[in-house]
């Protein structure tokens, strides 16, 4: 059994170290953000909701595994990642 104690100045620093360590060992690590509504995502990325809807429906987009849909198929919550953020912000 191996125990590891990690100390850092912030949780982000510890997360960055862990991600780097796993990537160095050959693991694929996907960094995801918190759950957020499409409205909040658009506000964070500073894009319009119509642009979000257009890009989400009409273009081939990066795969997002964490999407919660409502009963009528609308996006209720999603977890974004840096690849999706860059895709949505692109012209």
Query: In this model, does residue 65 exceed pLDDT 70?
Result: no
Radius of gyration of the chain, Cα coordinates, nearest whole angstrom: 17
Alpha carbon distance 43, 51 (integer Å):
12
Mean predicted confidence (pLDDT) in 36-58: 91
- 3-state SS class at 75: strand
Chain-centroid distance of CA 68 in Å reads 14
Which is higher by pLDDT, 15 or 45?
Answer: 45
Higher-scoring residue by pLDDT: 30, 20: 20
User: DSSP secondary structure string, 3-51?
Assistant: ------SSHHHHHHHHHHHHHHTT--------EE-HHHHHHHHT--HHH
Confidence (pLDDT) at 9 = 86
Return the pLDDT at 71: 92
């Amino acid at each position: 059994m191996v125990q590891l104690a990690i100390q850092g100045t912030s949780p982000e620093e510890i997360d960055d170290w862990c991600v780097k360590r796993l990537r160095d060992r050959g693991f694929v690590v996907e960094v995801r953000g918190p759950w957020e509504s499409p409205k909040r995502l658009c506000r964070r990325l500073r894009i319009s909701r119509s642009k979000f809807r257009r890009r989400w429906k009409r273009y081939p987009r990066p795969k997002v595994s964490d999407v919660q849909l409502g009963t009528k198929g609308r996006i209720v919550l999603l977890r974004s990642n840096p690849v999706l953020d860059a895709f949505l912000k692109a012209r």
